[in-house]
Amino acid sequence: MIKVGIVGGTGYTGVELLRLLAQHPEVELRAITSRGEAGTAVADVFPNLRGRVSLKFTDPAKSSLPDCDVVFFATPSGIAMQQAPALIEAGVRVIDLAADFRIRDVALWEKWYGMPHASPALVAEAVYGLPEVNRDKIRGAHLVANPGCYPTAVQLGLLPLLEAGCVDTAHLIADAKSGVSGAGRKTETQLLFAEASDNFKAYGVAGHRHLPEIRQELSMHAGQDVGLTFVPHLTPLVRGMHATLYARVTREVDFQALFEQRYADEPFVDVLPPGSHPETRSVRAANTCRIAVHRPQGGDTLVILSVIDNLVKGAAGQAVQNMNLMFGCDECAGLSQIPVSP
Amino acid sequence: MIKVGIVGGTGYTGVELLRLLAQHPEVELRAITSRGEAGTAVADVFPNLRGRVSLKFTDPAKSSLPDCDVVFFATPSGIAMQQAPALIEAGVRVIDLAADFRIRDVALWEKWYGMPHASPALVAEAVYGLPEVNRDKIRGAHLVANPGCYPTAVQLGLLPLLEAGCVDTAHLIADAKSGVSGAGRKTETQLLFAEASDNFKAYGVAGHRHLPEIRQELSMHAGQDVGLTFVPHLTPLVRGMHATLYARVTREVDFQALFEQRYADEPFVDVLPPGSHPETRSVRAANTCRIAVHRPQGGDTLVILSVIDNLVKGAAGQAVQNMNLMFGCDECAGLSQIPVSP
Amino acid sequence: MIKVGIVGGTGYTGVELLRLLAQHPEVELRAITSRGEAGTAVADVFPNLRGRVSLKFTDPAKSSLPDCDVVFFATPSGIAMQQAPALIEAGVRVIDLAADFRIRDVALWEKWYGMPHASPALVAEAVYGLPEVNRDKIRGAHLVANPGCYPTAVQLGLLPLLEAGCVDTAHLIADAKSGVSGAGRKTETQLLFAEASDNFKAYGVAGHRHLPEIRQELSMHAGQDVGLTFVPHLTPLVRGMHATLYARVTREVDFQALFEQRYADEPFVDVLPPGSHPETRSVRAANTCRIAVHRPQGGDTLVILSVIDNLVKGAAGQAVQNMNLMFGCDECAGLSQIPVSP
Amino acid sequence: MIKVGIVGGTGYTGVELLRLLAQHPEVELRAITSRGEAGTAVADVFPNLRGRVSLKFTDPAKSSLPDCDVVFFATPSGIAMQQAPALIEAGVRVIDLAADFRIRDVALWEKWYGMPHASPALVAEAVYGLPEVNRDKIRGAHLVANPGCYPTAVQLGLLPLLEAGCVDTAHLIADAKSGVSGAGRKTETQLLFAEASDNFKAYGVAGHRHLPEIRQELSMHAGQDVGLTFVPHLTPLVRGMHATLYARVTREVDFQALFEQRYADEPFVDVLPPGSHPETRSVRAANTCRIAVHRPQGGDTLVILSVIDNLVKGAAGQAVQNMNLMFGCDECAGLSQIPVSP
């Protein structure tokens, strides 16, 4: 059994990790920390876990994290970079669901996240945890930087095109829509039901923190710097993310076949038949990304539709998939739930 | 492996049965029928099942239902009573998720459902499939009448009180709220998003079809005819049912202990600590019923709060629980998913 | 023109007051205060008011409130009782949308609101602002205690029965459901979209602050102390409140006629035809209360359905109706918007 | 008073027309037709109109439409082209909220709408009813083709750029999101609450009927054929439309000033300050379009955000605005309601 610890389990990625790990056949949950809720039973905060998770939140200072095989950080950005080094030193493998180790260029990270980086040396060691790209590196990683939700949906939708070099990489457009849980369990006015319900808006058009992460990875896939316009939107969904991606064709190939072949062996990427429109609920509560490839009116602009559950393939599910790879489990272990629909 | 067939798989209880049965370790899905969708792959109608259910819908006339060990009817009321007799004759066990066999008094059934009953003889043989009451009879049943969603939530909330004979049974009140999926996948105007969203209303106050079912069962538990005022409401939830139950105390007992003891061995009924308010999302997509017992201001009126997922414990999950009992499986087989929250 | 000031305009009752008052033909908005937002244009906080309200929030200390004819308090409870006395002294009339002056028994108020009352003498002077009961007193009032949302929906539904003395007043039941805006614009976890959406729950069953207010008023209408079980629920609506009321008949009358006659001259109470089920959206954004009277199966329990928009007839609209009465305007002035549906 | 008739008043644009016209100071509602609901009181179908609209639906054959000054067609496409000629012949002015007269190229219309056009001669006479473009022509029109909702939101967002000739017109992108009421009051499975709630999807990517309308009008504004990729999405809102528009800069101008100047005198177009993100609820139930202009990271791609209420500026409100122009009323008459928020 893999001994697992979680730092910061009171947010949505935390409770989702718990839901998935408590059903994982090879995991033993050992510790979950929260400064604010230390001593409280996890199931008192998250009643869906009653009878399934018997742990209490523990104070980070008194926790048994160093005895774990792997520790997940489900914390705001800026925490893992402080605590991960000691754990890694102690032989614990770390999966960070926040952004601390996603950006290779430390100065760039510091600019977007507004703080000095506490362990720049570890950034170089970290493996970016998108299994569809880095499966082998993840297997051997001590530190995995779990991708953001927008970066996951956008990359999986553009990857085959960039690898094949068949679109204009200077003018990519990602129009992305996220459910409200993607913003976390923060008590901000704009996240209130009475503000976010029956309402739709873009946000962060001038620059969203996921932009440099997406750009970095897309540039790597393309083999050159890409130009990307990224517009995120807040949608009245609890869970779900839909990326609508626009790319101009520069070289003709069979685009449907390109996607099908690229993802033929991927257990969590499903390329839909031509003409499809994936719905976010078709992946609700599951680790699947579904993709459809369109070329409207036979023009020169491709439209790729990519949907994930932001809390699963966009966060906790992908983290468990990475853990499976790191510990030699079946990659799908604990991740085989069928999406919940309706 | 239990060979399973489903009649009428294009509604919400049908797709929910498929979600649960496709993950059941001892089930082999053999046939799913639909007149309208015959020949269509199930996963084309319900994309959440892509890669998980490979069956096509078949015409009822050409199906292999008689070769199954058990057949579920996820049809409108009035179908099972016509087709079940031949299957039972052929040795197939039947679980009807509709109302055909729920009401013992055939004349009463005919009044509420507006049609003559096609197999009144079978009504007497049918076992009412509420495991918390009829577990042993269900084990040996050939025909199970799976309870309605309102009757499940209301009965589980009132059962301990009626069995203990400690409330006024002449004036029970059940104020119940249902998610919209409880009305089925019917294209009625009132079920449209633009009608049901951001809206709340009572319906069927003069008389709802679940009323005689609830009354019959409560009367059985109480050992005498009960008086019940039942008001259902339509709530802008996809899934979820909340029953708020009012009963006047006639004999003092420790009500919290009464509930805890009654359900101590029940795997799918969770009595919450005193002072709790169960949320529908704490049981979303799971077979659990959560109950809280209140006595506001120490008065003579008890308030019982009971929540279920109308499609799981209120329909498909309870049906699978019944199947597990009928075939000697672990009662929880295929039903151990943790509720999805948020 | 009536010179109007508003204290505490950054919550939902504040913005709703602004929406109504900015369209009122006899109102001149003079001041709106907010400590936190002083100096900010109102329309920057509430973009729906762009081009329609040019005021800026002002610091309460520097405001021109004493020059107003009437001041609305759209503040949390505990503020008006401190500031109203000086304004009333200065000849300003006051309408408090919070609870400071609703409860006649000051000790009872202090128990439920957890603080000492700052102006107990004014409590006796205050008029409870339910026009359907106190129209004449409101006309001459210097201080109006605007009713709570639950108290409005419940009272209008029970008033005719209590006045006619035809139901058992010892065992009234009010099962009430509120949209999330009723909780105010507070950043509490349970009010987040990801918590409140696709979810339903009861709350405050042990005792809600509106209980003593409802009991006090119902007792006055009944001419004796009433017994009331009140269970509020949080519903995934932005606006809307639905009260389902249960009362046992003690004297036979024509209940439909009783309600129709009681409200025949009321501009904002609409008694629906027999058999109706009022929907919350049928009063969305309007000052109307719609009521239906049911007697299921001809039994001894009446079911009254009463719907309002919690922010209009349950708060800001009723306050404007009171202002109209106080200043001799047409009672419907500024309140004639047709409900928005769908 | 303008004598007004409505053909086909049982859909969402019909009830919205009624809401607006019943509050219009210069309108007398004379007739509203519906084959299916003839004889039923309008307020029985739409309870929000109780006490405000006393008309009954009448059979189209027996209606008094020829006595009206203006008739609105709130019908599916294909009806107005059959009935409008006789009315116009009789001196009645016609505003068609459907698509029959929007496309100048009759053959193109017939291809997209799948039927022969019944009055191609009238197409040439019709005025496209976007007041921000055609105000003068609308004043004198006998027949107004009221724009579609997507075309309104997209055109108002791109108009200043095309008129100024400062973007690449060959590769425009319109990523648009609509509330569910935009699809009408049709009982289609995908419009059910349980399908559309907590779900997000694109639709019609291969080609939506509004595409040729948008292309025709954008080409006119640009003075040349434009290339447009248009992707509509279904969003879990009752009302609201958000267009996110992408255009590549070909000539530098002050884009913010360009928009502000273009719409300086427009009563229903509000250009927000730089850096803004308009929310759909900021225009809910009102005839306003709010627009924000962005140029992310100073690159060569402009992002324009444009929001309307699809039932108001996208349908019924714009139709009333056109009527006001046609009959010499104040352009804002009956359209001055402040948006409802929250």
Nearest one of C77, C16, C96, C53 to C312, comparing CA atoms: C16
Q: How far is CA A158 from CA A37, A128, A305, D229, in A?
A: 41, 17, 10, 18
- What does the pLDDT average to over C27-43? 94
* CB atoms B282 and A48 under 8 Å: yes
Q: D124, exposed or middle or buried, with CB in 10 Å at 0-12, 13-18, 19+?
A: exposed
Asked if D251 and D283 sit in the same domain, the reply is: yes
C227 domain residue, yes or no: yes
Chain B positions touching C206 (Cβ under 8 A) are 275, 294, 296-297
- Select from A181, A277, A340 the residue whose CB has the most chain B CBs within 10 Å, as the one to mutate to test that interface: A340
Q: Which residues of B are designated catalytic?
A: 149
D40: left (phi over 0), alpha (psi -120 to 50) or beta: beta
Q: Closest approach of chain D CAs to the CA of C342, in angstroms?
A: 7
Do residues C153 and C241 make contact, with C-beta atoms less than 8 angstroms apart? yes
Alpha helices (H) in C126-209, listed in sequence order: 131-139, 149-164, 193-196
Instruction: Please indicate, yes or no, whether residues D93 and D175 belong to a single structural domain of this protein.
Output: no
Are C68 and C30 a contacting pair, CB within 8 Å? yes
Please provide the average confidence, as pLDDT, over all residues in chain B: 97
Nearest to A171 among D279, D301, D303 (CB): D301
Distance CA B46, CA D189 (A): 12
Range list of H helices, chain D: 12-21, 42-45, 80-89, 106-113, 120-125, 131-139, 149-164, 193-196, 210-222, 255-262, 317-326
**Same domain membership, residue B118 and residue B243:** no
Chain A residues close to C12, C-beta within 8 Å: 194
- pLDDT tens digits, C151-188: 999 999 999 999 999 999 999 999 999 999 999 999 89
Answer whether residue C9 shows pLDDT above 90: no
Tell whether D135 is covered by a domain: no
Nearest CA in chain C to B208: C296
Helix (H) or strand (E) holding C58: strand C57-58
The alpha-carbon gap from D334 to the nearest alpha carbon of chain A, in Å, equals: 25
Structure tokens at B131: 């495991």
At A61 the pLDDT is 83
**CB < 8 Å to B52, chain A:** 338
Task: Of C276, C293, C298, C277, give the one whose Cα is nearest residue C156.
Answer: C293
Could you report the per-residue pLDDT of D210-238, keeping only the tens digit for each?
999 999 999 999 999 999 999 999 999 99
Is the pLDDT reported for residue A12 higher than 90?
yes
With tokens 């609703």, the residue in question is: C102
- pLDDT computed for residue A62 by the predictor: 84
Q: Do D192 and B193 touch (CB under 8 A)?
A: yes
pLDDT at residue B9 tops 90: no
CATH of the domain at D21: 3.40.50.720
Contact A205 D301 (CB under 8 A): no
Task: At B127, list the tokens.
Answer: 């076992």
Chains adjacent to B (≥3 CB pairs closer than 8 angstroms):
A, C, D
Provide, as residue numbers in chain D, all residues whose Cβ is less than 8 Å from the Cβ of A227. Answer: 299
Q: Closest Cα partner for C10 from C18, C2, C20?
A: C18
Q: A300 and A158 in one domain?
A: yes
The fraction of chain C above a pLDDT of 70, given in percent, is: 100
- Compare all CA atoms of chain A with the CA of D281 and give the residue at the minimum distance: A199
Mutation pick from C154, C172, C229, C291 vs chain B, by most beta carbons of B within 10 Å, is C229
Q: Does D267 map to a domain?
A: yes
Tell me the pLDDT band of D62, cut-offs 50, 70 and 90. confident
B157 and B251, same domain (yes or no)? yes
Q: How many domains does chain B have?
A: 2
Q: Range of D64's domain?
A: 2-125
Q: Are B335 and B268 in contact (CB under 8 A)?
A: yes
Contact indicator for C270, C282 with CB cutoff of 8 Å? no
- Encode pLDDT of A45-61 as tens digits: 999 999 999 999 999 88
**Measured between CA atoms, how close is D85 to chain A, in angstroms?**
34
Instruction: Identify whether the C-beta of residue A80 lies closer than 8 Å to the C-beta of residue A122.
Output: no
Specify if D315 maps to a domain. Answer: no
According to DSSP, residue D279 is labeled B
Please give the full DSSP string across B208-255, using - where no structure is assigned. Answer: -THHHHHHHHHHHHHTS---EEEEEEE-S-SS-EEEEEEEEBSS---H
Question: pLDDT tens, D6-16?
Answer: 999 899 999 99
* DSSP 8-state class, residue B142: S
| Residue C338 · residue C312 · CB < 8 Å | no
Given an 8 Å threshold on Cβ–Cβ distance, is D197 in contact with B12?
no
pLDDT digits (tens, 9 = 90+) for B188-220: 999 999 999 999 999 999 999 999 999 999 999
pLDDT in tens, A246-297: 999 999 999 999 999 999 999 999 999 999 999 999 999 999 999 999 999 9
pLDDT of residue D50: 97
Q: pLDDT value at position D63?
A: 81
Q: Are both D171 and D249 inside the same structural domain?
A: yes
Q: How far apart are CA D178 and CA D174, in angstroms?
A: 12
On chain A, the residues whose CB falls within 8 A of the CB of C188 are: 187
Instruction: Answer yes or no: is pLDDT of C132 > 90.
Output: yes
Summarised one tens digit per residue, pLDDT across range A239-249 is 999 999 999 99
Mean pLDDT value across chain D: 97
What confidence score (pLDDT) does residue C212 get?
97
Q: What is the average per-residue pLDDT within C10-18?
A: 96
In a domain, D319, yes or no: no
Cβ-contact B154, B230 below 8 angstroms: yes
pLDDT tops 90 at residue D61: no
Determine the distance in angstroms separating the CA of C290 from the nearest CA of chain D, rounded to an integer: 10
pLDDT tens-digit series, residues B154-165: 999 999 999 999
Question: How distant, in Å, are the alpha carbons of B38, D29, D32, D54, D287 from that of D47?
Answer: 41, 18, 16, 11, 23
pLDDT tens-digit profile of B225-234?
999 999 999 9
Question: Which residues of chain C are within 8 Å of residue B201 when distances are taken between CB atoms?
Answer: 242, 277-280, 307
Per-residue confidence band for B150, with pLDDT thresholds at 50, 70 and 90: very high
Closest alpha carbon to C173 in D304, B296, B284: B296
pLDDT confidence tier of residue B292, bands split at 50, 70 and 90: very high
Contact C52 D338 (CB under 8 A): yes
On whether both C102 and C45 belong to a single domain, the answer is yes
User: Which CATH number goes with the domain that contains B296?
Assistant: 3.30.360.10
Question: In a mutagenesis test of the A interface, which of D205, D307, D308 is the best target, namely the one with the most A β-carbons within 10 Å?
Answer: D205
Do B95 and B32 reside in the same domain of the chain?
Answer: yes
A21 contact partners, CB below 8 Å, separation of at least 6:
A4, A6, A27, A29, A320, A334
**Helices within A243-284 (DSSP H only):** 255-262
Residues C108 and C191 in one domain: no
Distance CA A15, CA A181 (A): 12
Q: Which residue has the tokens 């016609």?
A: D94
In the predicted model, is pLDDT for residue C103 greater than 90? yes
In the chain, the amino acid numbered C328 is G
- Report the pLDDT averaged over residues D306-314: 98
Q: Respond yes or no on whether ipTM tops 0.95.
A: yes
Write the CB contacts of D156 (distance below 8 Å, at least 6 apart in sequence). Answer: D132, D269, D289, D291, D306, D308
Is C88 a member of any domain?
A: yes
Q: What is the pLDDT of residues D119-162, one digit of tens each?
A: 999 999 999 999 999 999 999 999 999 999 999 999 999 999 99
Looking at the complex, report in whole angstroms how far the Cα of residue A230 sits from the nearest Cα belonging to chain B: 27
pLDDT confidence of residue B60: 85
In this prediction, residue D60 carries a pLDDT of 85
Distance CA D295, CA D301 (A): 6
Shortest CA distance from C282: residue in chain B: B199
User: Quick one: average pLDDT of A124-146?
Assistant: 98
Question: In chain B, what percentage of residues exceed pLDDT 90?
Answer: 97
C270, C340, C342: residue with CB nearest D340: C340
Q: Please judge whether C19 and D338 are an interchain contact, meaning their C-beta atoms are less than 8 angstroms apart.
A: yes
Closest listed residue to residue D292, CA positions, set C158, A233, C169, C262: A233
Question: How far apart (Å, rounded) are the C-alpha atoms in residues A177 and C340?
Answer: 27
Q: Is residue A209 domain-shared with residue A101, that is, in the same domain?
A: no
- pLDDT confidence band for B281 (50 / 70 / 90): very high
Q: Is C289 a catalytic residue?
A: no
**Could you tell me if C103 and C160 lie in one domain?**
no
The beta-carbon neighbor of A229 closest among D203, D246, D279 is D246
Alpha carbon distance, N-terminus to C-terminus of chain D: 34
Mutate to test the interface with B, among D37, D180, D192 (most CBs of B within 10 A): D192
Whether residues B118 and B154 fall in one domain:
no
Contacts of B235 in chain C (CB under 8 A): 177, 200, 235-236
C-beta atoms of C192 and A194 within 8 A: no
- Would you say residue D334 lies in a domain? no
For residue D225, is it within any domain?
Answer: yes
Q: Which residues of C19-45 are buried (b: 16+ CB within 10 A; e: fewer)?
A: bbbbbbebbebbbbbbeebeeeebbeb
Q: Give the model's pLDDT for residue B63.
A: 81
Q: Are C65 and C33 in contact (CB under 8 A)?
A: yes
- Tell me what pLDDT residue C220 has: 96
pLDDT on residue D54: 95
Tell me, what's the pLDDT at B285? Answer: 98
pLDDT greater than 90 at residue C62: no
Nearest residue of C to residue B237, measured between CA atoms = C198
Distance in Å, alpha carbon of A325 to nearest chain C alpha carbon: 31
